Structure 1
Amino acid sequence: MLSVAGNIIIITLTLLDSHLKMPIYFFLRNFSLLEVSFTTVCIPRILYSMTTGDYIVSYNACATQILFVVLFGLTKFFLLADMSYDHYVAICKPLPYTTIMNNKVYTIFILSCWVAGLLIILPTLSLGLQLEFCESSVIDHFDSGASPILLITCLDTVLIGKVVPAFAVLTLITILLCVVLSYTYIIKTILRFPSAQQRKKGLSTCSSHRIMVSISYGNCIFIYIKLSSKEGVAINKVVSALTTSVPLCLIHSCIHFETNK
C-alpha cells in the first residue's frame, strides 16, 4: 500500500505541478509507473496466498508472472541509464539542455526502454517454455522465478542456466558502462566548477540516482551470482522480498525534490 500510494502521488504531482515539467521528473514519473506495475505483479498474489492458504499457481500464471517481472525489471535498468544521460546533459551542457531533451527525445527514450526489455526477455522465455517438470511442482520461492523453476525441471538445464545469466550479465554490464560513462563526464564537469557550493549542488543532484543504481545492481548481483544453486534460492527469496516491497522510487523522489528546492 505504501509503495503503490507513494508512487501514485509522485505520478500525480509530476502531472499537475507546472514546476515539475523538467525531463528528470518525466523519467521519474515513468519510473514510478514501473514501480507500481512491478509491485502489483507479485505482491497481490503473495498476500492472497497468505490470507487464503491457497498456494497453487497455474502454469500460465507462473509464466506470465515471470515475463512481467523480468520485463519491468529490465525496463527499469534501461530507464536508469536514460536518467543518467539526462543528468549528464543537465550538468555538462546546461545551455542547450532544453533543445537536446525535448518531448520527442523523451518518447524515444521511454519506447526504447520497453522495446529493449522485450527483445532481451523473449529468447530466454522461449527456452523456459520448453521445460518439462518432474513429479514435484513445489516452487521454493515467494513468487515465480527462474532459479526455483530450474530446480524442479526434469530436463538438462545447463544451456538455459548459462544463457539466462549470460543475457542478464551482458545487459547489466552494458547499462552500467553507460551510467559510468555519463558520471565520468559529470564528475569532470563538476570538478571544474569555480565554487564549492556549486560543486556540492551538482553532486547532491545526482545522489539519489546513484543510490538507486547501487541498490538495483546490488540486488541483481545476489539474484544471478548463484542462479542454479539451492543456496542461491534462499538468498534470492530475501532479495526478492525487498525488491518487490521496498519502493526505490520514493528514495529517489524524496532526495531529488529536496535537492531541487
Structure 2
Amino acid sequence: MTQEFTNLVAVVTGGASGIGAAIAARLHEQGASVAVLDLRPEGADAAHFAVQANVADSASVEAAIAAVAEKFGRIDIVINNAGIGAQGTIESNDDDEWARVFNINVTGIARVTRAALPYLRVSPSAAVVNTSSIAATAGLPQRALYTASKGAVLSLTRAMAADHLREGIRVNCVNPGTADTPWVTGLLTKAADPVAERAALNARQPHGRLVAADEVADAVVYLASPRSGSTTGASIAVDGGMQNLRLRPE
C-alpha cells in the first residue's frame, strides 16, 4: 500500500465509529498521523490521537484543534464527518430540532474548518473533505430535516472550494448512500420488522446492498490525497448507483 500521506496530519471528526473510524483507519494505513475529534474519543483506535470535541460548540472545537496543532505542529487535512440524523416530514421536528441538526451538520463544518484554516493555509497539501449524503441529490421520504442539512453541506462544499482555492486549499465532499454502520443498525432494531426494513434499504440502492463504510473511506482518501491536486469543488456519490441510475425492475 502506498504511503502518500506520510508526514501529513489529518483531523477526522466523528472518527471514533462508523464511517469516520473507517476513514481514520485508511488515512493511518497510508501514512498520515490522524487526530480523531469525537464526543466519545475513548472509542477511537489507539493508533490515533483522540480528542474530546463537540462540533456544536466553538470553544470545544477551538480547544481540540489547538491540541492537535500542539501535538503534531501542523494540520494538513480536515475530514468533516461528524453529523446526526433526523427522521420525518417538515412537521415532524420542532424549531429547536431544526436548529440543533443544522448546528451540528452544517455549522459544525464551518467551525472545525475555520479553526483549522491558519494551519491549512501553510500546508503544501491542504485538503478538506465533507460528508454529505445521497439525501442531498435525491428526494427521500421521511427525511426532510436531514435532507435540508445535507443539501446545505453540498452547497457549502462548493462555496468553500471557491473561497479557498487560491489559498491552496482544496474542498470536496462525498455523498454516501445508506451505509452499513452502527447508527443504521440501531435504527433498524427500532423498526417494526427489522429484517423487512433492511431488505427495503438494500433494494433501494441499485447494486442491491448497503454501502460499506470502507467504500466511503476509499473515496474520502482519494479526495484528500496530494495526488488529487486538480479535484476541488467536487462531490463523489458512493451509493451503488442510486443518484444517477434508473434500472428497470427485474
Relative to total residues, which structure has the larger strand share, 1 or 2?
A: 2
TM-score if structure 1 supplies the norm length?
Answer: 0.29
Q: Which structure has the higher relative contact order (CA within 8 Å, separation 6+)?
A: 1
Greater radius of gyration (CA): 1
Higher helix share: 1
